[in-house]
Amino acid sequence: CAARKAATVPYRCIIPHTTMPKQFRAALLLLGAAARPYIKIAEPLQDAVVYGEDDGTGQNIRGVRLVLHYYDLPDDGYDRLRVVTRVDRGYTNTLGPPLPDSTLTLSSRLGTHFLEIVLRDRDEPDGDFGDAATVTYDLVPAPGDAILREAGEVKDVEGVIRPRGDELSHAACLDRRERPIRVVLAGQLQLGGQSMLALEQARRLPLIKTWSGRRAFSLDFAFAIPPQPNRTTGPLEPLLKALDVPVHKFYTQIPGHLVREWGRGNTTNRLSSILAAARHLDDLAEDVRGIIQPFVDVVKGADIFSFTNHENHRHDDRTMVEAARLAGVPHILCEPSNLWWGSLPTGADGTASALVVPSHFAGRFWRERGALTQAAVVPPGFEAGPILRQETNVSRVRFGFVGRLAPQKSPGLFIRAAAAVGAAYRHTPLDVSFAVLGDGPLREPLERLAHRLGLRVTGGRYVSEERGPGTEMHFAGWLEPSDVRAAVRESLDVVVHSNVLEETFCMCNVEAMAEGKAVVTFGVGGVSEYLRRGDAHGIVVDTPSVAGLTEALLRVAEDSEWRRRLGAEAAPRVRGLHGGQDLSFDRMAVQYANLYSGLVCPARDLNQRAQDVACVGVDGEKADDENPGALLRRDEYWAAACGVARLLPSNDNPQMRQLLALLLGEATRIDRENVTPLLNTREREALLVAAAVAESGLPNTTLDRRGALTALAAQYLTKAQGAVDQAATHWEALFKLRRPVLNCSGSLWSYAVPDTAALVFMEDGSGGVLQMGATGLKLSNLIPDRPSDFEATPGKLRHAAAQFAHLASTGVELAPSVVDALAPCSVTSLDELASSYADAAERLSAISQDDETDARSLREVASDAVLPVLATLDRGVHLYMPRSMDSEAVLIDEQTAAKATADFERINLCVIDGALSDHALTHLRKQLVESTVWYDAKRGHLGAYLEDGIASGLLLQVVEEFGAKLPDIVGPKRLVQAWGYKYHGQEADMGIRPHADEGAVTVNCWLTPDRYNLRQGSGGLRIYNASVPDTMPFLQANRDFRAVRKHVEHADRVDVDHRQNRCVVFRSALVHETLPFYFERSYDAYRINLSLMYGVSDWRSAYQSSPDASA
């Protein structure tokens, strides 16, 4: 038996006293000891990776085969022995007596596990596990098993909402309230994940102001004092107090007589049941009320009570929920600390107003498992800060695990993969090392596992080898939250997230990405909402295994450039750029603000929203006393809008809605201030409401009113920003309303342009009538209520013919509505339409003095052959309107923006190459090449304008992003106009002559590929470091190029060469002109520029000469 024991051969050794050799027994007696029974674990093997058997519950629980071998069992007293187990340094379990069978099934969840087993006598206390048999193993899904992660795009699930995080949703309600919304947060005073989120709320929510400048929220923090006297405070308390956040400590104690009455161990359940049955505090017995009174005193008067819910605290939390309800708190929020199986979070039965979860995955998890309470998704945040450029060390790579050393994090997989990767690079020049940032119950088993696998453990608490062979595995231990991020930034190159169990979100990944580090993960649970297979900003390992993880780490170690790209793409994505989610603390605070205000503030319809924004303070009082017309005559736009909004429910018609929209727009003064309203301001809300009011008046109204309302909705959404595709939809509708293809018939010769800009009239209260109309939109060549002159130049007609032929060659077909309109003239294709235009161009050229500048009426060459031209001239035959991108359209990083700003401040202009993303450049050029929007004929070039069909969602996205990327140059200045110019004149044509514009800043971007430019320096832009004299009127400065040229002939100037995707940003008041151009003569080669003009200033004084403006 001893030999078998020495050879560790599985065997149940029972040594009867009567058969024990005398010499061996004597030796034992001399030692004064008896052979002690003990146990060994035969399966799972030490350091094994096992699959287990799925138990079919869907809870990621696997049955692990456990084989035990008993040794030195006595022949008497056998029934007195029992097996004591401890799993993951947590709970203990006793089996027997009698002793269990040798083969058992151990149910475990996926993860890294440490099992301890010891034999004890029935009467012997459990004691410690120093002499226990131990095994460390990783339980992973079997090949082919699905793990919980989102496979594709996140889909809406009933009962799961996501409060918006870009701006306040209920600003008007917050302004109407007499006091701030009071929120009481309950949690721990130790620094953990949930408490840090509470701290960031405390830092940001009190800074949110109402329109009147008052605080919108107040926060209190509640802490239940535990029985241990040394746990009455924590590091969070002084941080909260420094922010003037009250910290309330309460202690609840159940009197002894109630403990005896209810039964020890059942007191919390009984208390919560009694509270749940009560309707009011007065319904409770005095002794029961006394238990919860300290807590009631804390939450009484709060609008919202929010608590962190732990699985093992569900009954205590239920008592808090019922006590808060009895205290009169109208809204209770539960924030589950994690995901668990078998029970629901406290309040998920509908008693809470919402479960606050960090990911859509977590919300869906609870809803699919029976939660009746809605789930509100508020991802945690990080301190964004600037994006720091990361230098990639090509000779070194350090991988790190960041997180708690607990079973569900599967840290063992990281240790095992590290051993394999370290062995692969042990004799190579690449310096590979590993680090573990975190602590937890599995630290000792993991240190010993790393040592057994041949890694050199440093910083260890149980194993430490500061010197010696082997790849380093450094255990850093627990770090302060701020120190964790610093360690990631300064010490790690790649962060490894080895969790194979469901994950709510994993903030460690996001913080690593924010620091520009590559992240390797299995993408489980909420991780898949910001990182999926195939993404360019991180690595998602398909197979949750050591082999799969090792392969990924080897790839990222081998390719330093790929490693750099992963980090460089990750940092902007978590900041809401490049199509990613904004995961900053600022976004998180706004989401919480909208969650809280959404619960407190009742839903408001559009009419109520209009009154909310217009009738603020004194404006509402003025509207009480005076006629809206009288207020309007005195330019009291807010008060006038308030009066009309109040009249609307009883006098609702499209004209009243147009009037209300106009008044709200005028009240914002945006056309005078020339800046886009800031988020969360009364002015921005007014623009959004005005757009919605205009849109609501569109159905069942006349053509002219529909045009006016559509124009208002398009303009206000563009000025408000943030809804580019919605604004583009209205611009496109306006374009089609005003420029439909006409029916091709002889009646076209008498066609008159309909009016699409209806006016509204308003009595002023003293017998007069005021007139208002949609803000002016000059549409090229369209004069309402006059017979159309069908005017064009031969050059313009030739361009249209070339465009139609180009469209036909690319496979574009006429829309069915256009085919129907042209059918009477037997034109059914773009090629046939191109022939009609070419023929008309020749006819007109025969009587024209200059094909580029001499516009003549097609009436002068009247014949049936030109009817297709009359039906389509300056009409929307074909539109390509690209929508906005999920990723960024403007690629200007902080370093480029800083250089551009310095140049602009020095010489009043800057040049930015590669400003547009490849997608934006491609689709904006496609839009301007394909869309039939080139109506404004000039000398050698054609113009297309914002209101004439170029206001696509993508273009408006570019407009907004230039403001965001160049905050010190463009910033909040509103868009005044956007246009495209297409130069189709003869070779070496001069293009636009010297002139100045009335905007504040112009962004001019070139879209045509360089291969079509036939001469170096051709087609660029000349900008003079001078404006026009104060005595020169704007029209002369814009059109009298001879006078302007004479004025600047001695001024310093800058010539900027043409280059595709080069944007020139300059002060609009500076005199500028197009340089001669030599481009290939084909339709696809025309030189096209896109210009965006921001702001309107006193353009004659906008330019201030700079002492260093000599370029």
Angle at 614 between CA 608 and CA 620, to 5 degrees: 100
pLDDT of 673 reads 80
Structure tokens at 1053: 């100037």
Confidence of residue 937 (pLDDT cuts 50, 70, 90): confident
- Identity of residue 795: G
Closest CA to 791 of 837, 854, 735, 746: 854
Q: Which two tokens stand for residue 528?
A: 């898949």
Joined tokens for residue 267: 């007191």
Cβ atoms of residues 827 and 852 within 8 Å: no
**In angstroms, rounded to a whole number, what is the distance separating the alpha carbons of residues 860 and 270?**
97
The full DSSP string for 400-447 is EEES--SGGG-HHHHHHHHHHHHHHTTTSSSEEEEEEEB--TTHHHHH
DSSP 8-state assignment for residue 343: S
Confidence of residue 776 (pLDDT cuts 50, 70, 90): low
Closest among 34, 60, 202 to 140, alpha carbons compared: 60
Percent of the residues in the chain that have a pLDDT greater than 90, as a whole number: 66
Residue given tokens 């339980």 in the structure block: 139
Mean pLDDT of 852-869: 92
Do 314 and 345 meet the contact criterion of CB atoms below 8 Å apart?
Answer: yes
Residue 1027's pLDDT is 83
In the chain, helix, strand, coil percent, each to 5?
40, 20, 40
Q: Is it the case that residue 69 has pLDDT exceeding 80?
A: yes
Cα 235 to Cα 241: distance, rounded to the nearest angstrom: 11
1100 vs 138 pLDDT, higher one? 138
The whole-number pLDDT of residue 26 equals: 45
The residue ranking higher by pLDDT, 224 or 766, is 224
Structure confidence by residue, pLDDT tens digits, 870-900: 999 999 999 999 999 988 899 998 899 999 9
1010 pLDDT exceeds 70? yes
- Six-digit token pair at 946? 């914002």
pLDDT band at 1103 (very low <50, low <70, confident <90, very high): very low
pLDDT band at 812 (very low <50, low <70, confident <90, very high): very high
- Residue 985, pLDDT above cutoff 70: no
More confident residue, 135 or 22: 135
pLDDT at 394 over 70: yes
Average pLDDT on 780-790 reads 71
How far is it, in rounded angstroms, from Cα 409 to Cα 478? Answer: 15
Average pLDDT in the 633-662 region?
A: 93
Find the largest Cα–Cα distance for the chain.
134
Say yes or no to pLDDT of 410 above 90. yes
What per-residue confidence (pLDDT) applies to 6? 37
- Could you identify the residue written with the tokens 């309109």? 821
Tell me which of 79-93, 520-534, 783-797, 1025-1039 is least confident: 1025-1039
Judged by phi (left if over 0) then psi (alpha if -120 to 50, else beta), residue 42 lies in alpha
Tell me the one-letter amino acid at 1018: S
- 994 vs 47, higher pLDDT: 47
Taking only the tens place, the pLDDT of each residue in 576-604 is 877 788 999 999 999 999 999 999 998 89
Helix (H/G/I), strand (E/B), else coil: 114: strand
Q: Is the pLDDT of residue 318 over 60?
A: yes
State mean pLDDT over 221-250. Answer: 87
Give the three-state DSSP class for 751: coil
Q: Do residues 787 and 750 make contact, with C-beta atoms less than 8 angstroms apart?
A: yes
3-state per-residue secondary structure call for 210-261: CCCCCECEEEEEEEECCCCHHHCCCCHHHHHHHCCCCEEEECCCCCHHHHHH
* Closest listed residue to residue 341, CA positions, set 616, 110, 89, 588: 110
56: left (phi over 0), alpha (psi -120 to 50) or beta: left
Chain length of the chain: 1111
pLDDT of residue 1026: 86
DSSP sequence for 858-888: GGGG-SGGGHHHHHHTTS-S----PPPPSS-
pLDDT score, position 1109: 30
Question: Per-residue confidence at 1, pLDDT binned at 50, 70, 90?
Answer: very low
Q: Tell me the residue type at 351.
A: T
> What tokens appear for 625 in the block?
């006393």
What confidence tier does 671 reach under pLDDT thresholds 50, 70, 90?
confident
Instruction: Say if residue 816 is exposed, middle or buried (CB neighbours under 10 Å; 0-12, 13-18, 19+).
Output: exposed
pLDDT: which is higher, 190 or 954:
954
pLDDT at residue 1095 greater than cutoff 80:
yes
d(CA 118, CA 121): 10
pLDDT at position 1077, please?
86
Asked which of 48-62, 245-259, 791-805 is least confident by mean pLDDT, the reply is 48-62
**Which residues neighbour 568 within 8 Å (Cβ) at sequence distance 6 or greater?**
390, 516
β-sheet bridge partners, residue 1054: 1023
398, 473 Cβ separation under 8 angstroms? no
The larger pLDDT score, comparing residue 866 to residue 251, is at: 866
Q: Determine the pLDDT at residue 995.
A: 85
What whole-number percentage of the chain has pLDDT above 70? 92
For residue 85, give the nearest of 112, 110, 113, 109 by alpha carbon.
113
Cα three-residue angle 1027-1032-1038, rounded to 5 degrees? 70
| Residue 2 pLDDT > 50 | no
